[in-house]
Amino acid sequence: MRSTTSNKPQHKKAPGRTILSVCFWILVWEVAAKVIGNDIFLVSPLQVLLRLFRLTKEVSYWKAILFSLVRIASGFFLATILGILFAFLAYRSDIIRSLLSPLVKTIKSIPVASFIILVLLWVSSRNLSICISFLMVFPVMYGNVLEGLDNTSKELLEMADVFRIPTRKRLTTIYLSSVMPFFHSACTLGLGLAWKSGIAAEVIGIPVGSMGESLYQAKIFLATGDLFAWTLTIVLVSVSFEKLMLLLFDFIARKLECAT
Partner 1 sequence: MNYPIHKLSKCFGDKVIFNNAEFLFKGGETNAIVGASGIGKTTLLRILLSLETPDTGDISSLHGLRFSAVFQEYRLCENLSASANVRLVTTREQGDELLKELGLKESISLPVREFSGGMKQRVSIARALAAPFDILVLDEPFTGLDDDTKERTIACIKRHTKGKTIILVTHDAKEREMMQVKNTISLA
Residues that bind partner 1 (CB under 8 A): 155-156, 158-165, 169, 173-174, 177, 257, 260
User: Which residue, 174 or 232, has its beta carbon nearer to partner 1?
Assistant: 174
Q: First vs last Cα of the chain: how many Å apart?
A: 45
Collapsed DSSP state (helix, strand, coil) of residue 7: coil
The Cα 139–Cα 244 span in angstroms is: 22
User: Which residue, 174 or 189, has its beta carbon nearer to partner 1?
Assistant: 174
User: Which residue, 156 or 189, has its beta carbon nearer to partner 1?
Assistant: 156
The Cα 198–Cα 193 span in angstroms is: 8
Instruction: Please report which helix (H) or strand (E) contains residue 21, including its range.
Output: helix 15-36
The Cα 190–Cα 183 span in angstroms is: 10
Residue 221 DSSP symbol: T
Q: How far is the CB of 165 from partner 1 (least distance, A)?
A: 5
Q: How far is the CB of 161 from partner 1 (least distance, A)?
A: 7
Q: How far is the CB of 151 from partner 1 (least distance, A)?
A: 14
User: Which residue, 122 or 163, has its beta carbon nearer to partner 1?
Assistant: 163
User: Which residue, 89 or 156, has its beta carbon nearer to partner 1?
Assistant: 156
Distance of CA 11 to the CA centre of its chain: 26
Q: How far is the CB of 23 from partner 1 (least distance, A)?
A: 39
Q: How far is the CB of 62 from partner 1 (least distance, A)?
A: 41
- Side chain identity, residue 125: S
